[in-house]
Amino acid sequence: MDITLQQVSYAYAKNTPFEKRALYDVDLHIPSGSYQAIIGHTGSGKSTILQHLNALLKPSEGSIQIGDVEIKADKKNKQLRKVRQKVGIVFQFPEHQLFDETVLKDIMFGPMNFGVSEEEAKHRAIELVKLLGLPDEVMEKSPFDLSGGQMRRVAIAGVLAMNPEVLVLDEPTAGLDPRGRKEIMDLFYKLHKEKSLTTVLVTHSMEDAARYADRIAIMHNGKCVLEDTPQAVFRNEERLTDYRLEVPQSVKFQKKMEQMIGKSFPTICLTEES
């Protein structure tokens, strides 16, 4: 399922004294089956875009096409439920949204709420618990009795249980240790490859964007200022600093960049301060 943003602008609290423009004329095409990273410093508009991808927010101006559904400010839309089913979002710290008595019930909740039979929802939950490397015995436990890393996996299983066509990941490894980070990012990549799952990763990690994505979009002050392959983006060293993407050190990443773009390139990460 393709997603296309055309000249999308968005203002929070529109037409009030608190109006705050967060996006300006964003064009972005995310083809079906691709892996798109969206990077940018804090406040650059990443979360605002992300919420447009499954119609939690509607553009103030411009339009967004999600599969065969077009979303526009002035257009009433009866298909938002369909969009939300097809575009799954793993929000930051998704474990904060766990709520049910048992892991099994929690994972089954989404699909059953969307009309999937109990048998099928249970089947999906069992498969996903395996896929996410959780032991079988967690199924009947309360999600709140699990470790932080396990809770994160259960929450991810809950999103995947909807069988989304597009998976949107908002800093999915925030707060995890390096091993947990890599395991989860590798798992998302495997899903992307094996199921041609269209994946959108919102991240501060240039390393993750470089390692996993086919395309990288850079957000800066509410605008999409650069959208290209990782190779082309990292060749644009000077422009990256203009967008407050900083350049510290990591030998491993530098080597990877050298392989990718055929010249020495320092490690990049994003500055947190706006």
Per CB under 6 A, residues contacting ligand ADP are 12-13, 20, 22, 40, 42-48
Provide, rounded to whole angstroms, the least separation between the CB of residue 149 and ligand ADP. 24
| CA quadruple 96, 100, 105, 111: dihedral sign | negative
Q: Is 210 helix (H, G, I), strand (E, B) or coil?
A: helix
Burial of 10 (0-12, 13-18, 19+ CB in 10 A): buried
Provide, rounded to whole angstroms, the least separation between the CB of residue 48 and ligand ADP. 3
Provide, rounded to whole angstroms, the least separation between the CB of residue 165 and ligand ADP. 24
Nearer to ligand ADP, 22 or 134 (CB): 22
Provide, rounded to whole angstroms, the least separation between the CB of residue 60 and ligand ADP. 12
Nearer to ligand ADP, 98 or 217 (CB): 217
Provide, rounded to whole angstroms, the least separation between the CB of residue 55 and ligand ADP. 16
Kind and range of the H or E element at 155?
helix 148-160
Nearer to ligand ADP, 19 or 258 (CB): 19
- What contacts 3, CB < 8 A, 6 or more positions away? 28, 29, 30, 53, 64, 65, 66, 67, 87, 166, 198, 200
Do residues 27 and 224 lie in contact, with contact meaning Cβ atoms separated by under 8 Å?
Answer: yes
Nearer to ligand ADP, 165 or 171 (CB): 171
Nearer to ligand ADP, 22 or 226 (CB): 22
CA-to-CA distance for 221 and 125, rounded, in angstroms?
A: 40
Provide, rounded to whole angstroms, the least separation between the CB of residue 46 and ligand ADP. 4
CA-to-CA distance for 94 and 219, rounded, in angstroms?
A: 23
CA-to-CA distance for 200 and 164, rounded, in angstroms?
A: 12
Nearer to ligand ADP, 45 or 94 (CB): 45
